[in-house]
Amino acid sequence: MADLKSEIKCPSCGESRLASSFLTSKVSGQKICIACFRKEKKAAGASGSEAAKASPAKAETPKAAAAEGGEAPRAAALEAATAPAAAPATTGGLAAEGMAKCPACGKEMDVKRFVTSKKSGQKVCNMCYQAERKAGKADQPAPSAAAGAGAKAKPKPVAAAAGPHASAAGPVPAGAGGAAAPAMAAPGAARVRAQTVRLRSVDQPSGDVDRRDFLGWLALGWTAFTAASAQSAIALGRFMFPNVLFEPPSTFKIGYPEEFEIGKVDERFKASNGIWVIRSESMIYVLSTVCTHLGCTPNWLETERKFKCPCHGSGFQKDGINFEGPAPRPLERFRVKRAEDGQVEVDTSKKFQYELGQWNDPESYLVV
């Protein structure tokens, strides 16, 4: 082709266009402009759809012929349906320009759209050529009439499911030498066959659950039931034993009176029983270690001779009287008495409060 920037006359439409806008025609093989190339492509697509619609009508003729009489009429009808029409009596090729009739479909078209058939060697239109190529790809060799009558071929149910298109892929006509020739199936029949096989391949039998699956589900159900029963048993057992605080006994012995030093605060039972034991010259009394403000535990400061609460700074004297901080009242006393064996016995279930005048009760102290 000339320089891409030069203008060339299109052999199809006759208009002059830039050489860079020319493409090779798939029908004539010549360089044509892009506008003619697009028109040619649209015409080929429309003709292809018309040929696909016309294929079922062609397949009905051999089916009717085969129904009337045996294998021979069926083969003849199939050959008549698949073989191209008789070519016009021409000795040479088609003219370079003008209109011509396609020997396969009988339509008149521009001679530039004709291509040499690989099957018959004749010039056929582009649509028939494309249909012939598609049918050649989908075609598969079929058994002869004698072999097909005695053997059970697998394609039989496929042909039955394909409907009117099945006859196009049926028995194959015999050639000149008696050998079986491959059948030229219509594009529609090949398409239906492929779809039918695909549907049959995904068809799965819907049976009941087998024994292994049943046993698996049964084991899972029993496991869930056992777990639920165990949870219920644990909950019932927990209900039968309510929450109980296991505290030390409220009545206990702390020793003999001689074991406590006069004027000292004994803190040996602070952590275990929550009491302070104080002995004076005439008596022994027991104070609670709970602050009367918010329930904290004060500490005995020996150097300052007082009980001091670390939470909010409440202060109590050695006898339990509050004198500083937010504590509203003195510390409480517990019941104290001498046991039968001579030891000092404390009962924390009985309390005595100073503001109620209960410190004068003989049980709030032990005379020694």
What was the pLDDT predicted at 207?
54
pLDDT tens profile 282-307: 899 999 999 999 999 999 998 889 99
In terms of Cα–Cα distance, which of 27, 20, 3, 2 is closest to 12?
27
- 198 has pLDDT over 50: yes
Cα separation, 348 vs 68, whole angstroms: 119
Helix or strand (DSSP H, E) at 81: helix 71-82
The predicted structure's pLDDT at residue 229: 95
Cα dihedral value 242, 248, 249, 254, nearest 10: 180
Where does 57-160 show beta strands of DSSP type E? 99-101, 108-110, 114-116, 123-125
Helix, strand, coil shares, percent, the chain, to 5: 40, 20, 40
Comparing CA positions, the residue from 329, 229, 230 lying closest to residue 287 is 329
Which residues neighbour 28 within 8 Å (Cβ) at sequence distance 6 or greater?
112, 113
Listed ranges 81-85, 239-243, 361-365; the one with the highest mean pLDDT:
361-365
Indicate the SS3 state at residue 358: helix
Could you please state the CATH topology (level 3) that the domain comprising 251-367 is classified under: Rieske Iron-sulfur Protein (2.102.10)
With 0.85 as the threshold, say if the pTM is over it.
Answer: no
Average pLDDT over residues 17-43: 84
pLDDT in tens, 124-170: 888 888 888 888 776 655 555 444 444 444 544 444 344 444 444 44
Beta-carbon contacts of 173 under 8 Å, excluding residues fewer than 6 positions away, are: 75, 76, 78, 79, 181, 183
